[in-house]
Amino acid sequence: MLQELQAEFRAHARAVTQDEIDFYRKNGWVHLKALIPEAEAAAILREIDRQRGGGRPGFAHGDMFSAMWENVPDPSRQSPALRAFTHGRELGDAAAALQGGAVRYWRDEVLLKMPADRRGGETPWHQDHPYTAFDRSGRPQFWIALMDIPPERGSLVFLSGSHKSGVLGRAFHDDSDAMKNRIASVRAEYPQSPPLHLRPGDATVHDGMTIHSAPPNVTSDPRWAYVVQFFVADALYNGAPSPVIEGLGLEVNMPFSDERFPIVGWPPNARA
């Protein structure tokens, strides 16, 4: 079985184009059509569903986040086949090309958004960077569709250019009027991306500073998305707690040298 899985989704991520790189750096997000073959997306979904138990409740971040989606954290730790994909040169180099510098692997997870009548409601506008353990920005996140995801199933929506707006704050934890006014202000300042329809194997990539949201899943089917996250290779640990680094003994103001965070991608012509 494992050999079959490895054969089905050995790193087949295509290279990104210069147009896609330019779009990403200007807007803070990009839609990568057919990043991986549809058959590979199906194989990943089968392996994820096997780990999940084919119907058991998913693992959750906590009460706040489980109200929006179920989470299967770090499935590549349990699957050499998934590890080969998430740590593979093709996906890593695509991340590095978009970022414009070497990147380390951070983590992978599944975000399973249930239908709206089963807690799959709207994901509020937010940035991801305020919740991270990095001292600098630069965090391309690949959000890979494992099924057909039209807008009504909850594909992501971005504020184009908002990755240049500065740190918004921890919007999930701050319901103050000041935060609400800040979000309203940036929504007025930056154009909203059009509704996106992702086919299996398509991906969106967004920077950790890009402000984004997702509408409710108003279909009758769950939304399966596989998220693989990278970060700039020279980032230092800022001391913030994170379940990803718990127990690793990382030192504040030092690089992420643990073997869990290898450099997996280099920009074009940078490999030795």
User: What is the average per-residue pLDDT within 13-18?
Assistant: 96
Type and span of the H or E element at 225: strand 223-232
**Of 29, 113, 40, 41, which Cα lies nearest the Cα of 71?**
113
pLDDT at 7 over 80: no
User: What is the average per-residue pLDDT within 137-152?
Assistant: 97
Cβ atoms of 213 and 124 within 8 Å: the answer is: yes
What's the start-to-end Cα distance of the chain, in Å? 35
pTM for the model stands at 0.91
Domains and CATH numbers, the chain: 2-233 (2.60.120.620)
Task: Give me Rg for the CA atoms of the chain.
Answer: 18
pLDDT at 42 over 70: yes
Q: What is the pLDDT of residues 193-251, one digit of tens each?
A: 999 999 999 999 999 999 999 999 999 999 999 999 999 999 999 999 998 999 999 99
pLDDT at 270 over 80: no
Pick the range with the lowest mean pLDDT from 22-31, 72-81, 184-193: 72-81
User: What is the average per-residue pLDDT within 169-191?
Assistant: 94
Q: Specify the pLDDT at position 68.
A: 60
**Residue 198: DSSP 8-state:** B
Q: Specify the pLDDT at position 257.
A: 84
